[in-house]
Amino acid sequence: MLGGSFLIAFFRNSISAGLILSFFLMLDRPRFSMKKTIYCYVIFGISLITVYSIWFQLANQSFVHYAAFSILPVIGVFCSLMSGEVLYLSMYKMALAFYLFSVCTFCGVDAARWGFGGNLWVDILVRFICMVIILVFTWKKFRKQFLNGVDFLIDEMDPFSSVTLFVSVMLGAIMAYWPNLQGFSIFNMVRAFLILFMAGVLQYAILHLYIHLGQEHYYQTEKELLEVNEQLLHSQMDIMRESEREAARIRHDVRHHIILIREYVQKGEFDKLRMYLEQYGDDIENQKNKDICLNRAVNSILSAYSKKAINHNIEVEMNVRVEEGLDIRDIDWVAILANVFENAIHGCINSNELYQVIKIHIAQKGNKVIIQCRNTSNGKVKFRKGLPQSENGGGIGVLSIIKTASRYDGETDFALEDGMFVTRILLNIPLKNTR
């Protein structure tokens, strides 16, 4: 059935290569710009079609036996290099493309054999019609759904499951395609149709299952993050109440200062008044030096949580250099610093070490804010995909930190270093005032 001239082979190879490359590109997020990607695809496709057509002309027998299966690794390597996705997702998309290639081959070859005496042009026409239907359906219906769910798919699909899906869809495609090379019969045609149909339905169902699971986990995480944000709001309210109490204490002290100053003035004791004002000025300066940093939100958060840590007999060391006026919302400072400090306190308590310490370093460099927290740890922290996992199944504080940092195009890193748990956060922010 795979006979014909060089032109016939060229048309047939064009349909096969065009289907696989187009299907993969529709479902891909390329590594390079779309213009450059399409240019590379066109050059590669033309070269591939030419080479395979020459192979058909020079060694027809080997082409019949090996061309269909050799095209998979050749195109697979190229598409994986051009793709910006993880390797196992590219493997799965390539398996789906090969499956659709097998469907077109099955429909074209058997349709031509069944009713048209093996007419080569009928084979090419049926393949072309199948290719158009598949690509139109992919572009109109399947592409948007797949790209919207690809992040969920990546989260849920690990390398083992992707390899399993790859093998299953490949077996379905090969088992359906292989008998067509051994001769035509109604039995082989029906068997191939059933295998292809079941493989397609199974893969489509599994794909939806993975996307649905990813969406469920996403919504669950969003729900938990909302609960965490509610807790953070309560923490912020506690900080505001503490500030109000401090302000009330200051007003109370100021009233006493005024009474004492008025007493000195009425009695004409100006030397004592001058000495008192000097002492009062020194107290104000000393109180100012006790501030952790110039940023009021950061200062309030770190002050509140440092008191909490000290109450648990945890030593706190802070080196904070952050100015006021940064374009970071107070609630975001709370979401990051409160979670970091809270996790550090829990880490110290769970370590059961005699000496427990939390070291916090925050620095501002241009439009970047660098946050680093090191705390005593028992060294038994488990990581999954680079994120620490809580023993009690929590870990929502870490997700809140990551989500808040992403709002500022930030980066996060969690690690164990020399018996200390280390949290690093980088925020990229615009400055309201540049001097």
pLDDT tens sequence across 282-312: 666 555 445 678 788 888 888 888 888 988 9
At residue 102 the predicted structure's pLDDT band, cuts being 50, 70 and 90, is: confident
pLDDT at 43 over 80: yes
* Cα 431 versus chain centre, distance: 27
pLDDT at 129 over 90: yes
Q: Which two tokens stand for residue 229?
A: 């944000």
State the Cα–Cα distance between residues 383 and 390, nearest whole angstrom.
Answer: 9
Is residue 428 within a helix (H) or strand (E), and if so which, with residue range?
strand 420-428
pLDDT at 2 over 60: no
| DSSP line for 235-266 | HHHHHHHHHHHHHHHHHHHHHHHHHHHHHHHH
State the Cα–Cα distance between residues 24 and 135, nearest whole angstrom.
Answer: 10
Of 162 and 301, the one with more pLDDT? 301
pLDDT, position 317 = 92
State the Cα–Cα distance between residues 342 and 401, nearest whole angstrom.
Answer: 12
State the Cα–Cα distance between residues 141 and 242, nearest whole angstrom.
Answer: 56
Q: What is the mean pLDDT of residues 174-203?
A: 65
At residue 402 the predicted structure's pLDDT band, cuts being 50, 70 and 90, is: confident
* Residue 129: how many other CB atoms lie within 10 Å: 15
pLDDT at 40 over 90: yes
Say if residue 7 is exposed, middle or buried (CB neighbours under 10 Å; 0-12, 13-18, 19+). exposed
Residue ranges and CATH numbers for the domains of the chain are: 6-222 (no CATH), 293-428 (3.30.565.10)
Of 253 and 367, the one with more pLDDT? 367
Give me the sheet containing 420-428, strands edge to edge.
Answer: 315-321, 357-365, 368-376, 420-428, 411-417
Task: Convert the pLDDT of each residue in 371-392 to its tens digit.
Answer: 999 999 988 888 877 788 766 5
pLDDT at 435 over 60: no
State the Cα–Cα distance between residues 333 and 328, nearest whole angstrom.
Answer: 7
At residue 228 the predicted structure's pLDDT band, cuts being 50, 70 and 90, is: low
What residues contact residue 288 under an 8 Å CB cut-off, 6+ apart? Answer: none
Q: What is the mean pLDDT of residues 8-23?
A: 89
pLDDT, position 357 = 94
Strands 315-321 and 357-365: parallel
Task: Give φ, ψ of 321 to 5 degrees.
Answer: -130, 85
Tell me if 168 sits within 8 A of 229, measured CB to CB.
no
Helix (H, G, I), strand (E, B) or coil at 359: strand
Q: What is the mean pLDDT of residues 43-54?
A: 92
State the Cα–Cα distance between residues 331 and 233, nearest whole angstrom.
Answer: 7
Tell me which residue of 421, 1, 403, 73 sits closest to 224, measured CA to CA: 403
Of 427 and 324, the one with more pLDDT? 427
pLDDT at 424 over 90: yes
Of 36 and 190, the one with more pLDDT? 36
At residue 180 the predicted structure's pLDDT band, cuts being 50, 70 and 90, is: very low
Q: What is the mean pLDDT of residues 54-75?
A: 82
pLDDT, position 285 = 59
pTM score > 0.95 for this model?
no
* Cα 154 versus chain centre, distance: 9
Measured over the CA atoms of residue 334, residue 339, residue 341 and residue 342, the dihedral's sign is: positive
Q: Tokens 């200051």 belong to which residue?
A: 250
pLDDT, position 393 = 46
State the Cα–Cα distance between residues 382 and 416, nearest whole angstrom.
Answer: 10
Q: What's the mean pLDDT when you consider all of the chain?
A: 80
Of 425 and 236, the one with more pLDDT? 425
Q: Tokens 């493309």 belong to which residue?
A: 97
